[in-house]
Amino acid sequence: MSPEKGEADLARIQERMDRLGIDPRLKDYVTRSIRFHTHPAPGVLIAVFMVDYALEILGATPGERLYAVCETRKCAPDPVQVILGCTTGNKGLQVLPIGRFALTLNRPSDGPTSDGVRVYVDPAKVKAFPAIRAWYTNAPGFDKKKQEGALTDEIFRAGREILSFKRVRVKVPGKEKWEAALCSCCGEMVPGDLLEDGACSGCGSLAYYEEI
Ligand code: ZN
């Protein structure tokens, strides 16, 4: 997508948010998330409300060190990264390919677990919003292009009304020491505990290319 088209799409969304009286805090989250994602995907907008809701329940602010798990690879990881600074690279964000439109936030903990909050799109609540429902269920006949305006308005009108939450306890990963090891196949270095029968997983179960 061209930068010009991206900014034009964003301007349209901002105009909608102004018309619907969206809170400046959310407007800022939405703007930054769309720029990062490069287009105003419905999942990005919904995930902004999810992050905002989770922060409120947790009594946390975006400046705090937090940990997040996204249960989908689609859209939701981006507002988490932009708003919270929890990234895949700084280990603040884990993305699990479960496919549920849900995310969990928790604070750091010195113990083996941390209590947090899981916010999810609730199928029972989505029923009251036909455009969101069509998007959420990937309904046959749902035309993303044609219904984009109606869908966006509905997402902003619904806000948190399509969301539910649970208080949850998550395992905190240990900070084990690690030693580097050479892969017997490619000869490159990896943490030793990631070897599979002496070879790295890139040469084994996670191989994704062949040399040309
Ligand atoms: Zn290897």
Do 195 and 155 lie in a common domain? no
pLDDT at 148: 82
Tokens of 203: 């040469």
| Residue pointed to by tokens 């000869």 | 187
For ligand 1, the distance from its centroid to the CA atom of residue 192, given in whole angstroms, is 12
User: 88 CA distance to ligand 1 centroid (A)?
Assistant: 23
Q: How many domains does the chain fold into? A: 2
CA of 207 to the centre of ligand 1 (A): 9
Same domain, 165 and 180: no
Rg (C-alpha) for the chain, rounded Å, is: 20
CATH number of the domain enclosing 79: 3.30.1330.130
Ligand 1 centroid to Cα of residue 189, in Å, is 8
37 & 82 share domain: yes
For residue 89, the CA-to-ligand 1 centroid distance in Å is: 22
At residue 144 the predicted structure's pLDDT band, cuts being 50, 70 and 90, is confident
pLDDT in tens, 69-108: 999 999 999 999 999 999 999 999 999 999 999 999 999 9
Ligand 1 centroid – CA 135 distance (Å): 41
User: Based on the domain organization, do 67 and 149 belong to the same domain?
Assistant: yes
The pLDDT, as a whole number, for residue 167 is 98
Q: 207 and 113 share a domain? A: no
Q: Is 155:42 a contact under the CB 8 Å cutoff?
A: yes
Query: Are residues 180 and 164 both part of a single domain?
Result: no
Tell me, in angstroms, the distance from the centre of ligand 1 to residue 210's CA: 12
Q: What's the 185 CA to ligand 1 centre distance in angstroms?
A: 5
211 pLDDT band (50/70/90 cuts)? very high
Q: Mean pLDDT over all residues of the chain?
A: 94
Q: How far is the CA of 194 from the centre of ligand 1 (A)?
A: 10
Q: Ligand 1 centre from 39 Cα, in Å?
A: 37
Give residue 198 CA to ligand 1 midpoint distance, Å.
9
Label residue 145 by pLDDT band (50, 70, 90): confident
Average pLDDT rounded to a whole number, residues 171-191: 92
| Model pLDDT, residue 139 | 87
- For 143-167, what is the mean pLDDT? 91
Q: In angstroms, rounded to a whole number, what is the distance separating the alpha carbons of residues 152 and 194?
A: 43
pLDDT tens digit sequence for 20-78: 999 999 999 999 999 999 999 999 999 999 999 999 999 999 999 999 999 999 999 99
The pLDDT of residue 146 is 75
Share of the chain above pLDDT 90, in %: 85
DSSP letter string, 157-209? HHGGGGEEEEEEEEEPPP-----EEE-TTT--EEEGGG-BTTB-TTTTTT---
pLDDT of residue 1: 60
Does residue 107 sit in the same domain as residue 147?
yes
CA of 204 to the centre of ligand 1 (A): 8
* Residues 125 and 31 both lie in one domain: yes
122 pLDDT above the threshold of 90: yes
Q: Indicate if 143 and 190 belong to the same structural domain.
A: no
Instruction: State the residue range of the domain holding 90.
Output: 3-171
Q: Do 103 and 71 form a contact (C-beta atoms < 8 A)?
A: yes
Dihedral pair phi/psi, residue 149, rounded to 5°: -65, -45
Same domain for 167 and 188: no
Question: How far apart, in whole angstroms, are the C-alpha atoms of residue 79 and residue 115?
Answer: 22
Residue 16 and residue 30: Cα distance in Å, rounded?
Answer: 12
